[in-house]
Structure 1
């Protein structure tokens, strides 16, 4: 009688190395796929250009002092002449950006008048500030 044979069970082994590889690749795939897709993006069809040249952007500085004196590139001008001066700069430069320096005490209406002139002439405007 062979009693020792009855108590021995055949042990089944499960190889998980292949499953670990598959799970790793699935995790990697979903991580990459989730970073590529962004649900908050507006899809636009942008025009294409044959030439690779970009228009040189020119920046000019417009300043308004506390006593309401207007300066364009450190030259004092009258408020009435501001539109004609900016249109001359715009015609020369093409794409123009104004950096507007304004004293704290200047009324908002004076800033809005410069904003209106820039909008009429299709000029971008940036308001200069000092970090806190």
Structure 2
């Protein structure tokens, strides 16, 4: 009886070169994915100067119930152009209208107000409060 263990060669796969190739591919895809992001929208941000605050001609507020106010006066969406014309007729420069929207209000109402403001030749400015931002 031959009880000796047979010496067998165990086949080995050398993965050193494979690890290098995988590392290079990983770096390539990381770099390409940061350079070519299809979800980025390019916008032209305004440049700041010493005095960037525009003169507020009118302040329009849209509350959570989609009610529109010019100053403290409630106005319907249909009578908004006529009421705004009265305020904008007093201005000699290009007027700006500030829109204050409640955080729970619908965006559609604010967009309708912005379209009316643009049709009247004024500049709509949306007021944003970042004091509660994290």
Range into which the TM-score falls when normalised by the shorter chain: 0.5 to 0.7
1:65/1:102 contact within 8 Å kept: yes
Name the structure 2 match of 1:51: none
Larger Rg: 1
Q: CA deviation at 1:59?
A: 2.0
Name the structure 1 match of 2:109: 110
Match of 1:61 among 56, 59, 66: 59
Could you tell me which runs of 5 or more consecutive residues in structure 2 were left unpaired when the two chains were aligned.
1-54
1:61/1:72 contact within 8 Å kept: yes
Pair 1:77 & 2:75 matched: yes
* Mapped partners of 1:130, 1:105: distance in 2: 14
* Pairs aligned (count): 77
TM-score by length of 1: 0.54
TM-score by length of 2: 0.53
Higher helix fraction (1 or 2) = 1
* Mapped partners of 2:68, 2:109: distance in 1: 10
* Mapped partners of 1:58, 1:70: distance in 2: 17
Deviation per CA, 1:66-114, whole angstroms, max 9, x where unpaired? 1111110111111111111111111122331111000112111111101
Q: Which runs of 4+ in 1 moved over 4 A?
A: none
Could you tell me which runs of 5 or more consecutive residues in structure 1 were left unpaired when the two chains were aligned.
1-56
